Structure 1
Amino acid sequence: MNFVWAMLARNFAVECRSLRVSFTRMVLQPAIYLFVFGYVVGRMLPAGNSGNYAAVMAPGVVAISLMSAPYLVVGSSILSGFYFRTMEAWLLSPVGVRALLLALLASGTLYGMASAAVVVGLIWIILGIVPENWLLIAYFCFFGSLLFSLLAVVVLLAPATPKQGQDIFSLLMMPMTFFGCTFYSFAMLIPPFDSVALLLPTTYLSEGLRAAYATGGGSLPTHWVVAGLAATTLLLVPLADWVVARRLRNFTW
């Protein structure tokens, strides 16, 4: 556990040294999304039974932060370890590769939850929308952050080098952001686009967060989303464990 705490302290120190970048990433970018699409556009575009467009897109911005923040932390640790050769130092430390995996997941999950908390506060300040089910918000923030932390580990370490994994994750980010029901609800889609959306994890995360905000509820059954998110996250744990052991146990980069 000392190694995990050391990695968390290291990531916190890195964020403190780049406060401008962290502020832009955690506060400024989501605030712009919420102001432009929620406050300005949202007052002009009705969204059926959900009230207005602001109520539909705001939970989606939380989902975007839960997707991008864990990847930034986990990805920066893995990529800096690859490019600047710090991975050797981690692997030469008297800990197993599972301790390294736990440290990466802890960092990504905590940073994702912190980023989501900031966005939830921004939604309240800018749009005046407050969640009605805080327990569901906490649930989706935790499992969403953990899921995308696991996904970042798998995608970055499964290929021959993290550089190849970085390219793959960059390709995945765009469809998950724009086709995963973040800026619109699943009910707004028509075939065959609704089938495509069901293949993306951000769809379930966004709809679950909409149910937590009780803005007319999500378009997908909440209990299915709750169970499916937990099941998917748990299935990714052994996959991430296998990928880390396979790639780092015999380190050849």
Structure 2
Amino acid sequence: MSEAVVNSNDTKIVVYTRAFLGLMQRDFRVLTREIVPFLIRIAMNPLLFLFVFTFVMPHMTGGSTLSPTAGMAAAGGGGFGTVLLPGLMAVAIMFSGIAAVALPLAQEFGVTREIDDRVMCPLPIGAVAIEKIVFSAIQSIFAAAVVFPLAYYIPSTPVLVHVSSWWFFIAVLVLASLLAGALGLTIGTFVQPKQIGLIFGVVIMPITFLGCVYYPWAALSPIKWLQNGVLINPIVYITEGLRAALTPTVGHMPDATILAMLLFFFVLLTLMGLRGFANRVLS
């Protein structure tokens, strides 16, 4: 009897694995058909920010970026591009993760109920949601990789990047990408499809500008209430993690704190997203 149970469990694992990989293969096939819009979407925002703030403005002002963070970066041995690089990578990760999960869910939970086709595959409902997070994380990692060469060739002043610990950099990149996908799942399941556009203006933009993207978290020390308030923003830990991994000469949070908070928000948002996904599917 026990051997039969073991064989049954092994069969389930094989079926679940094949179904999970089948969903991934389907999503990759759809992505390859839309590769040009995908590349434009992930590259346009960092390209414009780098071009304006690290190329155009220094030429207009004789080398100054007119930014207080430029002085902080210079003190650490770099220019404003050094401060901006981790932040733009964080924005690329976040936007890619949300776009890869929340926007498709708005369509799948719409009038046509396309989500019903997905959940008919031989997988638990939660596993279908996990596949969306994993697939979006892969896109987010690719989006971050696209930002990197842009930051090297566009700024008028050199961007100083030094990876002192590769395992820390990989851990931050993977956790940040998974967190972005979990955030997208939470938004996509708790927000009605017709309100997705509003979320980008009401939620996404504020957490971006208050996510230490364009300045280090330590630079907020003169405004203590704000420095403490932004700690509830998960994007802060993505930007600070990438800043600690890529530009350690610029002030950043302790490494252990960054990893712990990235893991905390990933677990929290994943649990919220899975609950919301199950409720929407079964409703």
TM-score (norm 1): 0.87
- Equivalence for 2:86: 59
- 2:268 maps to 1:235: yes
- Equivalence for 1:44: 64
Tell me the SS of whatever aligns to 1:219.
Answer: coil
Correspondence 1:95-244 to 2 at 5 A? 95-127=123-155, 128-129=158-159, 130-133=161-164, 134-159=166-191, 161-164=192-195, 167-168=198-199, 170-189=201-220, 190-191=222-223, 192-244=225-277
Query: 94-103 vs 35-44, which deviates more?
Result: 35-44
Work out the CA distance in 2 between the residues paired with 1:92 and 1:35. Answer: 46
Aligned residue pairs total 249
Larger Rg: 2
Work out the CA distance in 2 between the residues paired with 1:173 and 1:9. Answer: 29
Percent same amino acid among aligned pairs?
26
Is the contact made by 1:131 and 1:137 (CA closer than 8 Å) also made in structure 2?
no
1:131-166: CA deviations, max 9, x gaps? 42333332222111111211111222134x343456
Work out the CA distance in 2 between the residues paired with 1:183 and 1:32. Answer: 14
Is the contact made by 1:11 and 1:73 (CA closer than 8 Å) also made in structure 2?
no
- Equivalence for 1:245: 278
Tell me the SS of whatever aligns to 2:251.
Answer: coil
Is the contact made by 2:96 and 2:140 (CA closer than 8 Å) also made in structure 1?
yes
1:91 counterpart (115, 119, 125) = 119
Amino acid at match of 2:115: M
Q: Give the C-alpha shift of residue 28 in structure 1.
A: 3.4
Aligned Cα root-mean-square deviation (Å): 2.3
1:77-114: CA deviations, max 9, x gaps? 31221234311211233322022112111111111111
Is the contact made by 1:131 and 1:213 (CA closer than 8 Å) also made in structure 2?
yes
Q: Give the C-alpha shift of residue 215 in structure 1.
A: 4.5
Is the contact made by 2:82 and 2:247 (CA closer than 8 Å) also made in structure 1?
no
TM-score (norm 2): 0.78
Distance verdict in 2 for CA 1:126–1:169, change over 3 Å: closer
- 2:102 maps to 1:75: yes
Work out the CA distance in 2 between the residues paired with 1:204 and 1:95. Answer: 33
Distance verdict in 2 for CA 1:206–1:109, change over 3 Å: same
Amino acid at match of 1:154: T
Q: Give the C-alpha shift of residue 170 in structure 1.
A: 4.3
Work out the CA distance in 2 between the residues paired with 1:18 and 1:3. Answer: 23
Distance verdict in 2 for CA 1:184–1:9, change over 3 Å: same
Q: Point out where structure 1 has 5 or more consecutive residues left out of the alignment.
A: none
Work out the CA distance in 2 between the residues paired with 1:155 and 1:53. Answer: 32
Work out the CA distance in 1 between the residues paired with 2:249 and 2:49. Answer: 21
Work out the CA distance in 2 between the residues paired with 1:184 and 1:41. Answer: 17
Tell me the SS of whatever aligns to 1:198.
Answer: helix
Is the contact made by 2:234 and 2:265 (CA closer than 8 Å) also made in structure 1?
no
Tell me the SS of whatever aligns to 2:37.
Answer: helix
Query: 136-145 vs 117-126, which deviates more?
Result: 117-126
1:184-218: CA deviations, max 9, x gaps? 12232232332332221111211121111234243
